[in-house]
């Protein structure tokens, strides 16, 4: 690592930190103003408000990190350009591509961090935030309830649940039927279906068991733990909000369970899954886009850099939302919908870098 690399890294890292801090504070202040009436109406004190924003902070950081990187790259290189330092570096035989290297190194490390952060930390924080909104602010319940559920749990098994309460993770009026081809082989009818969180399995309670093909007799039981089901409590709640509270692995398992259950319209879930992975790579894309854009001297200083950052982020997020909407509706493949904005900005960034080095 050269002296110039260390100099650029120091300037860039400091700018990223302050940009992320500033954007996060602005986001929190705007949200606080919007929710202030709810906090006052529900008698929520300062300590609980602080806890609410502690739960909200990971989601804010996850959303603002690419924005902070873009602003930091525009500001750092733009300021060095206005001070003629970039010109001096280029006179020394160092290209814009080489100047970009320390910026991309930081962006690469932050991309890896954000993949883990967005995939596991943010969903858990979202769950705590949603629970706070339910208990303290009287908003929607994250547990939910469902009625008249019918699931194809496997190729040979159907499960019917009359009522499911997500808060207690219990189902009522249960019927489980196994088939051998088109012939009914076994059936269990139970009053309760209970989730055992310690062992991650379901239990049937207070019911009867029939084997029509073997014997017409009915056997009563108090509890059965031996039946293995492919669905989990979250799979019984048809609530798209819950996807934002699932880790990468949970969401992958959820999609697999939906496939096993016979659901074919999974585009919305797949777009959400792929987007959780694609969004962190925006950190690298915006840096590749921002450095060549700001390497040309222009008037206006920080105000122009700030305005450019907001404009670029607005276009990026708008393009991403349009692609995701098309993906939800099946007009775009889920993988294409999730990566479309990144690919477009990556190609533009590569062209801009080539154009700058060509001059």
Residue 103 has pLDDT above 90, yes or no: yes
- Domain co-membership, 70 together with 135: yes
Q: What is the mean pLDDT of the chain?
A: 89
Question: Over the chain, what HEC string results?
Answer: CCHHHHHHHHHHHHHHHHHHHHHHHHHHHHHHHHHHHHHHHCCCCHHHHHHHHHHHHHHHHHHHHHHHHHHHHHHHHHHHHHCCHHHHHHHCCCCHHHHHHHHHHHHHHHHHHHHHHHHHHHHHHHHHHHHHHHHHHCCCCCCCEEEEEEEEEECCEEEEEEEEECCCCEEEEEEEEEEECCEEEEEEEEEEEEEECCCCEEEEEEEEEEECCCEEEEEEEEEECCCCCCCCHHHHCCCHHHHHHCCHHHHHHHHHHHHHCCCCCCHHHHHHHHHHHHHHHHHHHHHHHHHHHHCCCCCCCHHHHHHHHHHHHHHHHHHHHHHHHHHHCCCCCHHHHHHHHHHHHHHHHHHHHHHHHHC
pLDDT, mean of residues 97-120: 95
Cβ neighbours of residue 344 closer than 8 Å, sequence gap 6 or more? 319
Count the domains in the chain: 2
- Domain co-membership, 55 together with 119: yes
Residue 359 has pLDDT above 80, yes or no: no
- Domain co-membership, 159 together with 104: no
**Domain that includes residue 9, residue range:** 3-139+271-358
Share of the chain above pLDDT 70, in %: 94
Do the beta carbons of residue 19 and residue 112 sit within 8 Å?
A: no
- Domain co-membership, 43 together with 123: yes
pLDDT, mean of residues 252-259: 83
Q: What is the pLDDT of residues 118-152, one digit of tens each?
A: 999 999 999 899 889 888 987 755 456 777 888 88
Q: What is the pLDDT of residues 203-251, one digit of tens each?
A: 999 999 998 876 677 899 999 998 999 888 877 875 555 788 888 988 8
What's the whole-model pTM score?
Answer: 0.83
Residue 212 lies in a domain: yes
- Domain co-membership, 277 together with 133: yes
- Domain co-membership, 61 together with 166: no
Residue bearing the bigger pLDDT, 263 or 37? 37
- Domain co-membership, 135 together with 19: yes
pLDDT number for residue 259 = 81
Residue 239 lies in a domain: no
- Domain co-membership, 126 together with 196: no
Residue 344 has pLDDT above 90, yes or no: yes
Structure tokens at 4: 């110039």
Residue 272 has pLDDT above 60, yes or no: yes
Residue 352 lies in a domain: yes
Residue 213 lies in a domain: yes
pLDDT number for residue 356 = 86
- Domain co-membership, 17 together with 97: yes
Residue 254 lies in a domain: no
Domain termination residue (choose one: 212, 233, 254): 233
pLDDT, mean of residues 269-273: 92
For strand 201-211 and strand 215-224, is the pairing parallel, antiparallel, or unpaired? antiparallel
Domain termination residue (choose one: 233, 260, 285): 233
Share of the chain above pLDDT 90, in %: 57
Residue 98 has pLDDT above 50, yes or no: yes
Q: What is the pLDDT of residues 25-75, one digit of tens each?
A: 999 999 999 999 999 999 999 999 999 999 999 999 999 999 999 999 999
- Domain co-membership, 125 together with 158: no
pLDDT, mean of residues 331-350: 95
Domain termination residue (choose one: 208, 233, 258): 233
Residue 259 lies in a domain: no
Residue 314 has pLDDT above 80, yes or no: yes
Residue 260 lies in a domain: no
- Domain co-membership, 276 together with 305: yes
Residue 188 has pLDDT above 60, yes or no: yes
Residue 41 lies in a domain: yes
- Domain co-membership, 307 together with 166: no
Which residue from 328, 264, 147, 130 is spatially nearest to 255, judged by alpha carbons? 264
Instruction: Say how many Å lie between the first and final Cα of the chain, rounded.
Output: 26
pLDDT number for residue 142 = 46
pLDDT number for residue 123 = 93
């Amino acid at each position: 690592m050269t002296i110039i690399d260390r100099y650029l890294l120091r300037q860039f890292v400091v700018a990223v930190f302050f940009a992320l801090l500033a954007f996060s504070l602005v986001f929190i202040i705007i949200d606080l103003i919007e929710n202030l009436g709810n906090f006052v109406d529900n008698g929520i004190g300062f300590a609980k408000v602080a806890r609410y924003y502690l739960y909200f902070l990971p989601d804010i950081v996850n959303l603002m990190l690419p924005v902070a990187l873009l602003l930091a790259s525009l500001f750092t290189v733009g300021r060095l350009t206005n001070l003629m330092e970039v010109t001096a570096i280029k006179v020394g035989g160092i290209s814009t591509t080489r100047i970009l290297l320390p910026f991309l190194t930081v962006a690469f490390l932050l991309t890896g961090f954000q993949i883990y952060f967005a995939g596991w930390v943010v969903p858990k924080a979202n769950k705590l935030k949603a629970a706070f909104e339910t208990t303290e602010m009287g908003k929607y319940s994250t547990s939910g309830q469902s009625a008249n559920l019918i699931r194809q749990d496997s190729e040979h098994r159907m499960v019917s649940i009359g009522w499911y309460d997500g808060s207690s993770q219990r189902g009522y009026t249960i019927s489980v039927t196994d088939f051998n081809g088109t012939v009914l082989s076994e059936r269990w009818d139970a009053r309760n279906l209970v989730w055992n969180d310690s062992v991650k399995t379901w239990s049937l309670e207070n019911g009867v068991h029939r084997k029509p093909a073997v014997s017409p007799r009915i056997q009563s039981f108090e509890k059965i733990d031996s039946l293995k089901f492919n669905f989990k409590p979250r799979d019984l709640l048809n609530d798209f909000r819950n996807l934002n509270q699932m880790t990468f692995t949970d969401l992958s398992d959820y999609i697999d369970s939906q496939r096993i259950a016979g659901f074919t319209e999974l585009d919305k879930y797949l777009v959400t899954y792929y987007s959780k992975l694609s969004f962190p790579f925006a950190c690298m894309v915006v840096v590749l886009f921002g450095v060549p854009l700001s390497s040309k001297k222009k008037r206006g200083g920080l105000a122009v850099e700030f305005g450019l950052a907001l404009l670029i982020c607005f276009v990026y997020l708008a393009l991403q939302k349009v692609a995701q909407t098309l993906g939800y509706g099946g007009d775009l493949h889920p993988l294409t919908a999730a990566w479309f904005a990144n690919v477009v900005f990556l190609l533009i960034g590569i062209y801009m870098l080539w154009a700058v080095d060509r001059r």
